[in-house]
Amino acid sequence: MTTPGRKLDHIRICLEEEVESAWRPFNDLMLVPRALPGIDASEVNTRCRFLGKELAAPLMICGMTGGHPDTKEINRNLARAAQEVGVALGVGSQRAALEDPMMEETFSVVRDAAPGVPVVGNIGAVQLRKEGPEILDRLAEMIDADALAIHLNFLQERVQPEGECWGGGLIEAIGSATRGKVPIIVKETGAGICREDAVALVDAGVRIIDVGGLGGTSWAAVEARRAEEKGDQESFRLGRTFRNWGLPTPASVVECVAAGAEVISSGGVRSGADVAKSLALGATIAGSALPLLAPATKSAEEVAEVLRRYIRELRTSMFLTACVDLAELGSAPIVVGGRVREILDQRGFETKKFAIIRDISR
Ligand SMILES: Cc1cc2nc3c(=O)[nH]c(=O)nc-3n(C[C@H](O)[C@H](O)[C@H](O)COP(=O)(O)O)c2cc1C
């Protein structure tokens, strides 16, 4: 199947089917509520800088689409909303535009509609290794990118009958990409990034990691559905088995921060409260994809409404935890429970240090 055809399948399935992981790891976390906030709600300031530009809140629309004529309007709506509200945004894999330059405008529409916010390009790590770092300038120029995201998606590729599962040589390819003109972000797409891999990425020169952890869109579930539609029983079973595979997003945030990366928390971020929890664990900003897809098929205003809800919930979380700005939120006490705590404890992280009064723990 061609790249544009596959992209449309993905969007249709994400819009029509239940494709999220069964587990909501952010529910294992609790910010410590303050009955006496000591500040007024109106004083809360969520502004920050990301990739050299100012944002109204530490929020990003994660890369989803482009690459088929029908996706241009979706990207335009996402971009208009990002510009209006003041958040960062990514595009989906630009591979389709490398294969067919006619597809470029389905991506470049984003920069036209969002001239003032950070825009992040996107290409698969396997594609990068195949084509070489020369493609990066072209991808960046296409959308006047502030950064390029190199995505890792081996769970998805493994379940896809046409998937490309060449995992060798990627660190070298990513390392050479970091020596180019545009900042590089490495992102997963729903299975998370552990400390071992984050250390290797940081050593290779990557500064920013988007964890893309477990807890939201499951690409094993999406590909299982595609396989079912095509009557491919083997891939269907494989996708079903691995639907909940991955490192949960909050755990992946802790692991990547420990490796010294600047971290984007994504994968199952479904509210501003999840954004607040992410920042309390050390993330710089948080990103969301699936909840913005259906609104983007309708209008920019519907996308903006979802973004404004996230910001309202973030501001509320900050007020109720006595955090006047994002620096304070970064050290707000947060209790890690349930399976997220089990995972982090077993992995050797001291989860209690997040929960006790930070003045004592530092
Ligand atoms: C319809 C759709 C298409 C996506 N396409 C891409 C892509 O081309 N490249 C990429 O890096 N991630 C892609 N993603 C993954 C998202 O960027 C994100 O990592 C993932 O969906 C987890 O976030 P969520 O749980 O908020 O959806 C896509 C997600 C969706 C929902």
In this predicted model, what pLDDT tens digit does every residue of 46-91 receive, in sequence order?
A: 999 999 999 999 999 999 999 999 999 999 999 999 999 999 999 9
Query: If you measure from the C-alpha of residue 63 to the centroid of ligand 1, how many angstroms do you get, rounded to a whole number?
Result: 6
In which domain, by residue range, is 150 found? 3-361
Per-residue confidence (pLDDT) for residue 362, from 0 to 100:
39
78 in contact with ligand 1, CB cutoff 6 A: no
Q: Which pLDDT score is estimated for 4? A: 77
Choose one of 7, 64, 222, 285 to mutate for the ligand 1 pocket test, by most ligand atoms within 8 angstroms of C-beta.
64
pLDDT bracket for residue 357 (50, 70, 90): low
Write the pLDDT tens digit of every residue in 111-169: 999 999 999 999 999 999 999 999 999 999 999 999 999 999 999 999 998 899 999 99
Is 252's C-beta closer than 6 angstroms to any atom of ligand 1?
Answer: no
What pLDDT, on the 0 to 100 scale, is given for residue 2? 78
pLDDT reading at 359 higher than 90 = no
- State the average pLDDT for the chain: 96
Contact partners, residue 192, CB within 8 Å, separation at least 6: 211, 212, 213, 214, 246, 247, 248, 249, 251, 252, 267
For residue 273, the domain's CATH number is: 3.20.20.70
Rounded to the nearest angstrom, the distance between the alpha carbon of 216 and the centre of ligand 1 is 10
Residue 360 predicted with pLDDT over 80: no
Mean of the pLDDT values across residues 94-104? 96
Q: Whose CA is nearest to atom 29 of ligand 1?
A: 64
Between CA 247 and CA 213 the distance in angstroms is 6
pLDDT higher than threshold 60 for residue 346? yes
pTM of the model: 0.97
Token pair of 251, please? 């755990």
| 319 CA distance to ligand 1 middle (Å) | 31
Ligand 1 contacts CB of residue 266 (under 6 A)? yes
pLDDT at residue number 276: 98
- Report how many domains make up the chain: 1
Amino acid at 200: A
Q: What are phi and psi of 267, to 5 degrees?
A: 105, 95
What is the Cα–Cα distance from 249 to 190, expressed in whole angstroms?
A: 8
Do residues 242 and 191 touch, judged by C-beta distance below 8 A?
no
pLDDT of 361 over the 50 cut: no
Burial of 56-89, coded b for 16+ CB within 10 Å and e otherwise, reads bbbbbbbbbbbbbeebbbbbbbbbbbbbbbbbbb
Ligand 1 close to Cβ of residue 122 (< 6 A): yes
Q: Considering only CA atoms, give the Rg of the chain.
A: 19
% of the chain at pLDDT higher than 70: 98
- Name the closest-CA residue to atom 3, ligand 1: 64
